[in-house]
Amino acid sequence: MQRAFKNYGDVVRIAPNELVFITPKAYTDIYTSSINGRPGFVKSDMLDTGDKYEGLASERDIDKHRAARKQLAPAFSPRSLKQYESIIHADVDEFVEVLKNSPATGAGVDIAPWFERATCDLGGSITLGHNFKNIQSGQNHPILESLLRIGHWATFRNVMRRFPLLYPLSYVFLPPKVAFSYFRAHSTSKKLIRTRVEERHDRKDLDYMTQFLKNEEALPPDGFLVSQAGHLILDHYESSSVLTAGMCFLTTNDEVMKKLQSELRTTFKSYEDITEDKLQDLPWLNATIEEVIRLHTNVPYGLPRISPGHIVDGNYVAKGVVVSSCAYATTHSEKYFSKPYEFKPQRWLPKDHAEYDHAFDGDDRAAFRPFSAGSRNCLGQAMAYLVLRIMFAKLCWKFQWELLNKNEMDWDRDLRLYIVWQKPKVHVRITPFERKVIKVPVKLGPNATTPYTEMDTDDDDEGGDLAIMATAPCDIRRGGFNQKICALNNKT
């Protein structure tokens, strides 16, 4: 699509009845337009599952979608997110502990499957109050296994959907292993939902299903809950691609990794001190996450909508024509972002930040909408940022990272999309970081006493960084001990 836009302009016809746009204005027109208080462009059938009950992401009926979204919305309120934080920390801490005792510290591991298991576990914990134990067991839970297996066939089915007479044949080509995996996952989900419903009075911890089980007189059918849970777990699983991409980008950009780790290790004296309240205010962490999401577009394909007969960026689109916007093409276009294929988190730093690069003043941030827009925008975007901040912060604080297959792997070249991302191997080795604290005397002035201040040494594979956590301003004396310490600190 990127090449097509370069060759043909801002609107490209990809099928007899389907148009794709690249401009931010077109995005606004398609996804936020309303007619008489209802969405003007209705969702197409691309994500239909064929089940009796559709999940929140695939439900096309406006009223059903609105009702389900209204029920689920309290699960993503600031108050609820605060309650989820302890669950996220517990699951991430478990992941870090297992990773610390894994081959990742020796010969190294492909980190992509580890992130898939960790995010699926977290999705189970927050959706159903049930951790799937993928990380603990080192094996894929049936639900995760189904997600990994079904992508190729689901992509084939979507292609066949464009040929109505041939579409039924897509099920003839469903591989037996994929079918078995899907039905086993569906059966497992039904059992988990039934257990969750039966235990609804005994549960004290908050999870997503809590919102659907509040009304005792109108409990939804199990099939409805299975569909909602499936989509919510998938949403958490999809953050594994962002995490894998992030570690790939950071391990190939040493300067950014050092700035991020310095910010984290200066802000938090210990791993246990890491909290969301402080993470929200860290410029390099948040800029890094934004840049990872921009460079690795998690939903790169269009989200097709059916035109009601409306204007899109100055172009009249007839009723019934399918329209969409290609997020990948937009975020990788030089029209909207300077150096679009380069990993440059500094473009997202506040403009008054000392390390903000004015080369990015011309970036059009309106072209960056990773969580869609309008009445069908991602309800869980605040949750996504919460998870990514905690995960990146703890992993980058706790470990030094080294990419072992840097010369063999190319992220953009090797990445494949079959409904969900098929990620290349990102073979990493990690070294646990331990903060060593010693005390040294520091002169405060000619008439002041000489207290001790903590000096932290951040040992890494390059011989160790040195950072001073001063308890008071120090007076650097020419030729004195303080000068030597500060000089060493500046050197690193």
Tokens standing for 405?
């297959």
Q: Which residues pair with 422 in a beta bridge?
A: 416
Those residues with Cβ within 8 angstroms of residue 62's Cβ, 6 or more apart along the chain or in another chain? 38, 39, 42
User: Are the C-beta atoms of 40 and 216 separated by less than 8 Å?
Assistant: no
396 labeled part of a ligand binding site: no
9, 32, 305, 319, 477 from 17: Cα distances, Å = 18, 21, 12, 10, 76
Q: Which residues pair with 455 in a beta bridge?
A: 438, 468
Task: Give, as one character, the DSSP assignment of residue 356.
Answer: -
Place of tokens 């309650």: 83
Task: Give, as one character, the DSSP assignment of residue 358.
Answer: G
Angle ∠(68,54,141) on CA atoms, nearest 5: 105
Helices (H), 73-215: 78-100, 111-128, 134-137, 142-160, 176-198
User: Are the C-beta atoms of 315 and 53 separated by less than 8 Å?
Assistant: no
User: Are the C-beta atoms of 244 and 115 separated by less than 8 Å?
Assistant: yes
Instruction: Report the C-alpha gap between 391 and 276 in whole angstroms.
Output: 11
Residues in binding site: 378
Please give the annotated binding residues for heme, written as ranges: 378
